[in-house]
Structure 1
Amino acid sequence: MSLKVVSLFSGVGGLDYGFEAAGFETRVALDLDPVACATLRLNRNWPILEGPIAEISSANILGTADLSVGEADVLIGGPPCQPFSKSGYWARGDAGRLNDPRADTLAQYLRVLRDVMPKAFLIENVPGLAYRGKTEGIETIRNGITAINKVMGTEYSFEFKVLNAAEFGVPQMRERVFIIGSRDGTKFEFPKPTHGGPGSGLEPFRTAWDAFADLPRPAELNSLQVKGKWAALLPSIPEGQNYLWHTERGGGQPLFGWRRRYWNFLLKLAKDKPAWTIQAQPGPATGPFHWESRRLSGHELCRLQTFPDFLEFACTRADVQRLVGNAVPSALAEKLALEIRRQFFGEKIPRNGPSLIPPAHVRTPPAAITAPVPAKYLHLVGTDSEHPGTGLGRSASNRAVAAA
């Protein structure tokens, strides 16, 4: 029996595809982004509501889903995460958080939860939502659910945890916080990791090679070439390394100061490791890049997010990157959906686990050979210093001067 899903902030459907693989049916999907909505329509026949959630009534959502109040089995969604993102702290010293107008998406999710009254709910967000000492987002949701229970006479439970997708068979290190609850008060027990590194006693991490091994070389290779100031330097960086290779502590030329750049600056995938987190809107030198020193194709991005093979896209590559980079890995969503079926609906789940996890490959090819540093970069040797420590870098100094 298919269980009925109402999907908010659906994006390209990362959560939905995972729930679909676990036997759920998306009865309505809602998103503001026209490109995301067009992509959903291209791949699935789900009813789509396109527009700002604040302008779409709960009655419209239920009507489009052909559901009455209380009939939906699960409400899922990942409200836009920018107010709680770690990159926001880096850029501004702190994030706008609940003062940011975009944080109102949390209130809109709670409004739909109150009006739709599903049997269960799932909220996904960036780990910053639950940072210690910065938990306004979590507390807003908890207080909102407490208020719903008081007004509506429900008993929604509330459990949250930060999960790393790689620990559940996704070939990508990607942390997200999940909040899950049941209308009848049943507490959700988050699954334990199934995959890990050497010595963990778990199944080995799935790797970038596991994700890509059976893919043909992209037909659009020319359009995947890296451009910009640092493009010619990328071939000199080994697999699994970033710009730190070219510092005094690395094995290359000391072109940069230690920790003077973002971690994903000139970051390159390694065949024998999971990918690092896929970025939604990377700069020209922002990785992870393929070990062939190029950008990842749309198919490769989808494989790292464990989307079903293959989704179709009728948009630019930049849009594909944005849609995929903002999504939830579908195999992780499938795992949680299977647990929701087992714990909240009393159904047995398959012993072989999520179906969207890529198979492991016995043999991984050797690492690609690196190229020498081009002469045009050698004038940088020894010109930069190590980062002096937290609060002492160039940005902090500039802010202090501006404030003086």
Structure 2
Amino acid sequence: MTDDRLTAIDLFCGAGGLSQGLSDAGFETLWGIDHEKNTKPTYEANHGCEMTVGDIREEEPPDLGLEKGELDLVAGGPPCPTFSLVGKSKINSLEGRDNQSDERHLLYEEFLRFVDHYQPKAFLMENVEGMLSAENENDEPVVKTIKEQMRGERQVADLDLDLNYTVRVQLLDAADFGVPQHRKRLFFIGNRIGADNPDMVEWQSHRSPRNEEEKKIKYKQDPSKRSSEDQHTLEGFVEEEEEREFPTFRKDIDSKEPWNTVADAILDLPPVSPDGNTPPTKAEEYELGPISEYQYWARNLEEEADWEDQPLLNHECRGHNMRDLTLYKLLGEGTSYIIGDIPEEHQPYRTDIFPDKLKKQNPKEPATTIVAHLYKDGHMFIHPNEARSITVREAARLQSFKDTFEFPVARTHAFKQVGNAVPPLLAQALGTAIRAEIFDRPVQEQELQKAD
């Protein structure tokens, strides 16, 4: 660990999207844990720390070689399917058991148990948008209850915890932070050192497009030829905003970029059936160099490196039957991107229930939310130009994993890991804001990349 890096642990770490983003923001993850054994090969292939496979409810916090209170950040996203949206009194009818026989804690309570053990200076907890409307057994908002528990104003089940954190809760869309995907997630940011928790609206780097021109693929340009459309005034001096490399996260950026789109993210990747195989299989070599700014970033090439020597990892999709391939071909610009708008006689599903069961991704927009269910069903993530569902690598690009991030597991496991992850770019934005506003230690991007 370099002196400039802060320490963190990642609970419910999965493949490590949160760990990756925090690393890019200047944190060193010391340990991770997840219950899914298939995440271990992926996590350990991409991160330089120990990862435990186990049930967090049965695990004691490990010795990190730090005194209590020295850990900088506890981060993690308790899985939403296990989080009760209705409270323990209603678990009985939902799960067929009573509270006496159910010795489990709600998994977010395990997150708080680890916070209590380490007493970190700050924490970052992620969960689903649906938590905002959830209520407990007393018809109280779940988010309000959790905030009170984090502040030490309410007991956490039967646990004797010492929590005294100021907390900010925000719903964020990953597209506002450079991720080529609309993905709304809820984040709890807390600290116990008297700092103001960041308002992530002030850290947004991207915005909705203002016109059709801004929806087109954003080709990478020579930085010397780029100019900023806005200027800002500081104490009477007018300064032109300096050119920014992607990604750049700063508070109150004057000129935000238009959202990154599906085209920006994946259209440099080759077809998966270059020999005309049916069903589509996979491709293992790049055929073109990167085109957009996002693609240059995703390739993660060393300066002056030859892209032709870079291996193409995980560029593989599931097979399809001819009926599916024909339906996929039917969708797109000039017809509709969702099957619900196609004439009724060609509908494979009831359109009153599944109008978007088949959805081709629009190349001029950010992708729809990548989900873990993609490993079972790819119909909602059809390639914009090819009659097939997207590959693992394309899903990873849309989640903002770089091409050098490897998923050394079976395709089904890889899809699930990608869909469950926190987008690394969103995590990097959060980590950068936490580093700057809570720890007063701005990120020096180039130095930190060298430290990696």
TM value normalised by structure 1: 0.74
Cα-to-partner distance string for 1:77-112 (whole Å, 9 max, x where unaligned)? 0000115699xxxxxxx998xx99887111111111
1:302-313 correspondence runs (5 A): 302-313=396-407
One-letter code of the match for 2:146?
I
- Tell me, yes or no, if structure 1 residue 188 matches structure 2 residue 197: yes
One-letter code of the match for 1:209?
A
CA contact (8 A) 1:4 1:26 kept: yes
Equivalence for 2:113? 111
Distance 1:309 1:31, change over 3 A: same
Between the aligned partners of 2:411 and 2:330, the Cα distance in structure 1 is: 25
1:281 is paired with a residue whose SS is helix
Equivalence for 2:364? 272
Count of residues paired in the alignment: 337
Cα-to-partner distance string for 1:255-279 (whole Å, 9 max, x where unaligned)? 766542153x111112111111112
For residue 235 of structure 1, report the CA deviation from its aligned partner. 1.4
1:148-159 correspondence runs (5 A): 155-159=164-168
Q: Pairwise CA RMSD of aligned residues? A: 3.3
Cα-to-partner distance string for 1:103-154 (whole Å, 9 max, x where unaligned)? 7111111111111100000000110111276764423422321338997776
Structure 1 or 2: more helix by fraction: 1
Report % sequence identity: 31
Cα-to-partner distance string for 1:210-247 (whole Å, 9 max, x where unaligned)? 11133334474385333497453221111571112215
One-letter code of the match for 1:286?
H
CA contact (8 A) 1:268 1:293 kept: no
Equivalence for 1:290? 383
For residue 296 of structure 1, report the CA deviation from its aligned partner. 1.6
For residue 307 of structure 1, report the CA deviation from its aligned partner. 1.4
Equivalence for 1:177? 186
2:67 is paired with a residue whose SS is coil
CA contact (8 A) 1:15 1:328 kept: yes
One-letter code of the match for 1:195?
H
Between the aligned partners of 1:289 and 1:211, the Cα distance in structure 2 is: 14
One-letter code of the match for 2:133?
Y
Deviates more, 1:23-32 or 1:306-315: 306-315
Between the aligned partners of 2:84 and 2:343, the Cα distance in structure 1 is: 28
Equivalence for 2:269? 215
For residue 288 of structure 1, report the CA deviation from its aligned partner. 1.4
One-letter code of the match for 2:77?
G
Equivalence for 1:261? 354
Distance 1:281 1:257, change over 3 A: closer
Equivalence for 1:46? 49
Between the aligned partners of 2:330 and 2:82, the Cα distance in structure 1 is: 36
Pick from 333, 341, 362: which aligns with 1:245? 341
Equivalence for 2:422? 328
2:123 is paired with a residue whose SS is strand
Between the aligned partners of 1:308 and 1:254, the Cα distance in structure 2 is: 37
Between the aligned partners of 1:49 and 1:255, the Cα distance in structure 2 is: 43
Which residues of structure 2 form unaligned runs of 5+? 86-92, 212-254, 274-280, 283-315
Cα-to-partner distance string for 1:137-188 (whole Å, 9 max, x where unaligned)? 4234223213389977764111101101011110001110000011124231
TM value normalised by structure 2: 0.67
CA contact (8 A) 2:180 2:259 kept: yes
1:158 is paired with a residue whose SS is strand
Equivalence for 1:68? 67
Which residues of structure 1 form unaligned runs of 5+? 87-93, 356-404
Between the aligned partners of 1:254 and 1:24, the Cα distance in structure 2 is: 49
Distance 1:103 1:167, change over 3 A: farther
Equivalence for 2:23? 20
Cα-to-partner distance string for 1:292-312 (whole Å, 9 max, x where unaligned)? 121222211111111133222
Distance 1:179 1:223, change over 3 A: closer
Between the aligned partners of 1:277 and 1:14, the Cα distance in structure 2 is: 15
